[in-house]
Amino acid sequence: MADDTREALVGVIGGSGVYQIDGLENTRWETVPSSFGEPSDQLLFGELDGQRLVFLPRHGRGHRYSPTDINYRANIDALKRAGVTDIISVSAVGSLKHEYAPGHLVLVDQFIDRTFAREKSFFGKGCVAHVSMAHPVSTRIGDALEAACKELGLAHTRGGTYLTMEGPQFSSLAESNLYRSWGCDVIGMTNMPEAKLAREAEIPYATVAMVTDYDCWHPDHDHVTVEMVVKVLLSNAEHARSLIKTAAPKLRRRPLVDEQGGDHALEYALITHAEARDPEVVARLDAVAGRVLGGPVQG
């Protein structure tokens, strides 16, 4: 009987504390060039109980890049070139709901993009494409993360809407209340256009939103101290490491084609006729769109 699965190479995007996992072996930092500029940092390759993982510090080691300054296109392009088949994004967020206290994890399944100063697509003049973002999160990866949360006894919620703001400043009170009126669950600065680009690169993606504090709408917000926030950040980093360590084995084998996750998101997305495509633009897309453009593709 034919095997309809293949080995996964899981990419993890997050802070430096995420990849300091006990048992991570055969590690090496490697520079992976991108045709879209410089990624945030080198990629850390390693193995965890035989499962291959690739880590990318979203803000660079030492937190060198603000959310606006991150080269999201280069980050996703580099992960694609490294052969990553699935992405787990770990992100610090503010809570927009009473029930999501600091330390709570939200496995979001929807996004609202309020950013305005970032490159949001690999495509454009010379080669136009439109991918669907109706369901931007991979159910398969979400299932693994949810199962890991349950095993570890972590307070979590499956499903929710992550509003991505531009930053680097935090919300005004009026903005915070507006986003609550929209039914958003958490607010952060980094998951857009990250999730959009992962979909364009045909890499299934899921987010673990880790609550660090209540946003400014909450009556106790003004009483939060730096010491309290740091305590939550350290606790969240520990939970993130445990979560990755527990979820990774569940993702070791993945479908040959994860249709819902976006493996074939570009199948009918390219609009520009072949004879009208700019060769230079097409050359830049050799990794993210090589499957449909006929160029080399990793994975």
Judge residue 3's burial from the number of C-beta atoms within 10 Å of its C-beta, 0-12 exposed, 13-18 middle, 19 or more buried.
exposed
Tell me, yes or no, whether 126 lies in a domain.
yes
215 annotated as a binding-site residue: yes
272 annotated as a binding-site residue: no
Q: What is the pLDDT along the chain (299 residues), one digit of tens a residue?
A: 457 899 999 999 998 779 889 899 999 999 999 999 999 999 999 999 889 999 999 999 999 999 999 999 999 999 999 999 999 999 999 999 999 999 999 999 999 999 999 999 999 999 999 999 999 999 999 999 999 999 999 999 999 999 999 999 988 999 999 999 999 999 999 999 999 999 999 999 999 999 999 888 888 777 667 677 778 888 899 999 999 999 999 999 999 998 888 999 999 999 999 999 999 999 999 999 999 998 554 44
Tell me, yes or no, whether 299 lies in a domain.
no
Tell me, yes or no, whether 136 lies in a domain.
yes
Tell me, yes or no, whether 10 lies in a domain.
yes
59 annotated as a binding-site residue: yes
CA atoms within 13 A on the CB side of 258: 25
User: pTM value?
Assistant: 0.95
Are 246 and 271 in contact by the 8 Å Cβ rule? The answer is no
Judge residue 114's burial from the number of C-beta atoms within 10 Å of its C-beta, 0-12 exposed, 13-18 middle, 19 or more buried.
middle
Q: At what angle do helices 72-81 and 191-200 cross, to 10 degrees?
A: 40
Domain hosting 104: range is 5-292
Tell me, yes or no, whether 158 lies in a domain.
yes
Cα separation, 93 vs 165, in Å, equals 11
Tell me, yes or no, whether 297 lies in a domain.
no
Cα separation, 291 vs 61, in Å, equals 32
258 annotated as a binding-site residue: no
189 annotated as a binding-site residue: yes
Domain at 281, CATH number: 3.40.50.1580
Per the structure, the count of domains in the chain is 1
Which tokens belong to 273? 């006729």
254 annotated as a binding-site residue: no
The pLDDT value given to residue 206: 98
Reference 108, options 169, 158, 183, 36; nearest CA is 158
139 annotated as a binding-site residue: no
Cα separation, 215 vs 209, in Å, equals 14
Q: What residue spans of 98-206 are helical by DSSP H?
A: 139-152, 173-181, 191-200
The pLDDT value given to residue 193: 98
Tell me, yes or no, whether 202 lies in a domain.
yes
Tell me, yes or no, whether 108 lies in a domain.
yes
Are 58 and 177 in contact by the 8 Å Cβ rule? The answer is no
- Residues labelled as active-site residues: 213, 215
